Amino acid sequence: MILALETSCDDTCAAVVDRGRVLSNVISSQAAHHAEFGGVVPEIASRHHLELVNPIVDAALREAAVSLDDLDAVAVTRGPGLIGALLVGVSTAKALAAARRLPMIQVDHLHGHVAANFLEPDPLEPPFLCLVASGGHTLLAGVTANDGFETLGQTLDDAAGEALDKAARVLGLGYPGGPEIERLAADGNPSAYDFPVAMAREPGLDFSFSGLKTALVYAARDLTPERLHEERADLAASFQAAVVGQLTAKLKRALDDGDWPAVALGGGVAANGPLRDRVGEICAERGVPLKLVARQLCTDNAAMIGAAAECLKKEAHPAYLDWDALV
């Protein structure tokens, strides 16, 4: 049984995982504290993690109905992420583990997003192709073993979630932007604006979202504030369609290039309904099974860190005491 901690960005998360089963998965989002700034403020994130981490660990143990004595190991996200935020999780995990001489497991945050697919119910076994799209990263992962993945292509500039967050700011919506754009887009016409699906002509599996953001800024600049308000739903729907269009174009190309027997999604953007639907259509057309984890396992959480940890090597006490965060 593993206690896992995740504090790489603005969610303070702790979970108890036992052989793929999630016994608890507690998430305290700080989104409200960052909303007025339109994005995560690293210093504020670290301070909130410090305040929240102990109560969140207590809540995870309580919900799982276990005590620290029941644990076999403590797992923690070591990176990538915000240095101050990561350090709160790493230090807390070290203290909990060292006090009981428990082993520790360091987890890469992106491996965690992939590993959410290993959890019950219906755990997915490699090999599979995983599209990971979050606020910090966008990549296609070739997963041939449980303990890692190969990056087949990745964004050359902004992440998909970052683009959605920035678009939300242009449209005067709240943070995080992805869910806000999705909500507004439901009432809009995705063909109203012709936003570029970047990298369509480039060979390879890399992504680019910065041009798309600029296209939205230009479209918004050409409108009066009243018109911008009226057009918000159409702009949101068209922008979301361009993001989904690029993500799925590269996913299709990866499926053409490789012989992947299954497809999975990971990262906060994988909670997006239109993306899930479109990937579902693509997989159905090709007869490839698609694994979709629950939305709360797409956005940052510690259960996915526990899932990855179960596939990784444990480090015995006291070797982990000099671990640093890896940014």
Question: What are the strands, taking DSSP E only, across 101-164?
Answer: 104-108, 128-133, 138-145, 148-154
Closest chain position to Zn ion (CB): 134
Q: How many angstroms separate the CA atoms of 26 and 251, rounded?
A: 31
Left if phi > 0, otherwise alpha if psi is -120 to 50, otherwise beta: which for 224? beta
Distance CA 189, CA 326 (A): 42
Is the omega angle on the peptide bond into residue 121 within 30 degrees of 0, that is, cis? Answer: yes
Q: Return the residue of 117, 267, 297, 307 that touches ligand KG4, per CB under 6 A.
A: 267
Of the listed pieces 89-97, 170-178, 285-293, 314-322, which binds ligand KG4 according to CB under 6 A? 170-178
* By CB under 6 A, residue 182 contacts ligand KG4: yes
Stretch touching ligand KG4 by CB under 6 A, among 145-153, 175-183, 207-215, 311-319: 175-183
C-alpha 280/C-alpha 289 separation (Å) is 9
CB of residue 285 to Zn ion, shortest distance in Å: 29
* Chain residues in the site for Zn ion (CB under 5 A): 134, 300
Residue 152 or 167: the one with the smaller Cβ distance to ligand KG4 is 167
Question: How far apart (Å, rounded) are the C-alpha atoms in residues 210 and 112?
Answer: 26
The nearest distance, CB 92 to ligand KG4, in angstroms, is 19
Token pair listed for 67:
């005590």
- Would you say 275 and 305 are in contact if contact means Cβ atoms under 8 Å apart? no
State the DSSP code for 255: H
**Binder to ligand KG4 among 116, 233, 271, 302 (CB under 6 A)?**
271
CB 301 → ligand KG4: shortest distance, Å? 8
Q: Which of residues 116-155 bind ligand KG4 (CB under 6 A)?
A: 134-136
CA dihedral over 189, 194, 199, 201, signed as positive or negative: positive
Out of 161, 188, 245, 306, the residue judged to bind ligand KG4 by CB under 6 A:
161
Check binding of 6 to ligand KG4 (CB under 6 A).
no
Site for ligand KG4 contains 89 (CB under 6 A): no
- Contact positions toward ligand KG4, by CB under 6 A? 9, 134-136, 161-162, 164-165, 176-179, 182, 267-269, 271-272, 299-300
